Amino acid sequence: MAHLRGLLSFCILLLLVVQPHQAYGSARGSFRRTRTDPVMLQESGICASSVIVHGYECQEIYVTTKDGYILNMQRIPEGRFASGNTIKKQPVLIQHGVLVDGMTWLLNPPEQNLPLILADNGFDVWIANARGTRFSRQHTSLDATQPEYWNWSWDELVTYDMPTFFDYIHNQTGQKVNYVGHSLGTLIALASFSEGLQVDKLKSAALLSPIAYLSYMNTALGLLAAKAFVGEITTIVFGLAEFNPKEQPVEGFLKSLCANPGVDCYDLLSSLTGINCCLNASTVDLFLKNEPQSTSTKNMIHLSQTVRDKVIAKFNYERPDHNLIHYGTLTPPAYNISNIPRDIPLFVSYGGNDALSDVKDVQDLLDSFKFHDVDKLSVQFIKNYAHADFIMGINAKDIVYNQVLSFFKRQQP
Ligand SMILES: *[C@@H]1O[C@H](CO)[C@@H](O)[C@H](O)[C@H]1NC(C)=O
Ligand SMILES: *[C@@H]1O[C@H](CO)[C@@H](O)[C@H](O)[C@H]1NC(C)=O
Ligand SMILES: *[C@@H]1O[C@H](CO)[C@@H](O)[C@H](O)[C@H]1NC(C)=O
Ligand SMILES: *[C@@H]1O[C@H](CO)[C@@H](O)[C@H](O)[C@H]1NC(C)=O
């Protein structure tokens, strides 16, 4: 049950946490987005819809992972007003969180969103789109309608997706990469660095709304899970499948949860997820038209294990004999965050109202950096920020992105 509780908490939080203040009343019906023709989307893509329209150059790029997933990236090589500056630009890789894609970074007006601000400040910007999201659904041999396509969790994002992005950028630019992650984008970075992966190609990393430990995230939501329809959940959860919040059975399951007597998604949001202080209603409308995106059910299970087990470890097959087959140990190996090389420049920014990245969990994360070189770790705490403010806050430029910029600039030779 704890397992299911964790999973539930995670879905609900992720879906609801992005609702703006004004939209509380309509939160219930908003899971389904208006359907966009996939062919049209392919033709337009994120560059056309969200970057080129603002007068920036942008390239759609496809990279293939060692396990065959074909992933989409956007490259914004320069700002709106090309400076003619001959200094080699520093690359920045921007990685979104779970259940969204790279477009979430671009929903605010250009002067407010992180990728375009970075481009205008002389960085060579690369936006990643995780496997399973709408523009990263191709594979060399599998099809997204096949269960095997969805046989991965965030371990594979660490093992396959991250190296593919880093190698490609490093190869194209000949430079070390600055990294920005939000939410799950921070967890996969921390896990990678703790295993010594990418660190040779990494210049510095900015971690926004960091997720690592998730022990405190679900406490109150346990109540909700107790009322859930266990039978329905189990059919969704077990077996390999796409986890698509916009379609059955996941959508129906989430709606039924909100309709459950005694469970009010209105209260749930305000009391448990934390309130995003600073979202723009038009941006949120745009968000709801474009997100949420799919992930794998296995990934959601893995995240819920992180909630339940209070350790950051590889996917747990839930049976010692199966873990033994996969890992040679009865329990899955842990990622040891304290193993992250102490001289990697890190910037951590977290919010006081963030229910996903709970302040106490962030404290645990910061504790694991206690031996980090003091001058290589900067921490920012923003009292009234919650999870989505870091990507869509109307004042995120002044509060967060300017800090990210000066952090990256400090790393320049
Ligand atoms: C909110 O977003 C709209 C559409 O992008 C924009 O025109 C408006 O200026 C934004 N409001 C604020 C306060 O930034
Ligand atoms: C899923 O992947 C694991 C390895 O990660 C493999 O052992 C297992 O056979 C795969 N299952 C299916 C149904 O492809
Ligand atoms: C990029 O990859 C190509 C082909 O593998 C290789 O020839 C080239 O040296 C690489 N460039 C850098 C900067 O690593
Ligand atoms: C984690 O790594 C740190 C630093 O390398 C080490 O001191 C500690 O013993 C490790 N913890 C575990 C549980 O392996």
358 vs 176: CA distance, rounded Å: 31
Does the C-beta of 174 come closer than 6 Å to ligand 3? yes
Sign of the CA dihedral 56, 405, 398, 73?
positive
Ligand 2 site-directed mutation target among 65, 66, 146, 151, most atoms within 8 Å of CB = 151
Residue written as tokens 């099809």?
143
Q: What's the mean pLDDT when you consider all of the chain?
A: 81
183 a catalytic residue = yes
pTM to 2 decimals? 0.86
pLDDT of residue 302: 85
The atom of ligand 2 lying closest to the CA of 240 is 13
Query: What tokens does 121 get?
Result: 């400040």
Catalytic residue among 136, 183, 204, 368: 183
Catalytic residue among 101, 124, 155, 354: 354
How many residues can be counted in the chain?
413
Query: What tokens does 349 get?
Result: 């920014």
368 a catalytic residue = no
Please write the tens of the pLDDT for every residue from 340-373. Answer: 999 999 999 999 988 778 898 999 999 999 999 9
Question: Which among 348, 351, 356 is positioned nearest to 306, based on CA atoms?
Answer: 356
Residue 233 has pLDDT above 50, yes or no: no
The CATH number of the domain where 267 resides is what?
Answer: 3.40.50.1820
CA-closest residue to ligand 1 atom 9: 109
The atom of ligand 4 lying closest to the CA of 371 is 4
Per-residue burial over 112-147, b = 16 or more CB atoms within 10 Å of its CB, e = otherwise? bbbbbbbbbbbbbbbbbbbbbbbbbbbbeebeeeee
206 vs 177: CA distance, rounded Å: 11
Q: How confident is the model at residue 167 (pLDDT cuts 50, 70, 90)?
A: very high
303 vs 95: CA distance, rounded Å: 17
Q: Please, are residues 107 and 286 in contact by the beta-carbon 8 Å criterion?
A: yes
Beta bridge partners of 348: 207, 379
pLDDT of residue 24: 29
Beta bridge partners of 336: none
Q: Which range marks the domain in which residue 128 is found?
A: 2-410
For the chain, the first-to-last Cα distance in angstroms comes to 52
387 a catalytic residue = yes
Q: How confident is the model at residue 159 (pLDDT cuts 50, 70, 90)?
A: very high
Query: What tokens does 247 get?
Result: 């379609």
For the chain, what is the domain count?
Answer: 1
Residue 316 has pLDDT above 70, yes or no: yes
Ligand 1 site-directed mutation target among 280, 288, 397, most atoms within 8 Å of CB = 280
Please write the tens of the pLDDT for every residue from 269-291. Answer: 334 445 788 888 888 888 877 87
Looking at residues 6-28, what average pLDDT do you find? 38
410 vs 402: CA distance, rounded Å: 12
Question: Which among 99, 96, 70 is positioned nearest to 291, based on CA atoms?
Answer: 99
The atom of ligand 3 lying closest to the CA of 173 is 13
Question: Which among 108, 110, 75, 111 is positioned nearest to 94, based on CA atoms?
Answer: 75
Number of C-beta neighbours around residue 339 at 10 A: 12
Q: How confident is the model at residue 256 (pLDDT cuts 50, 70, 90)?
A: low
Sign of the CA dihedral 340, 334, 64, 99?
negative
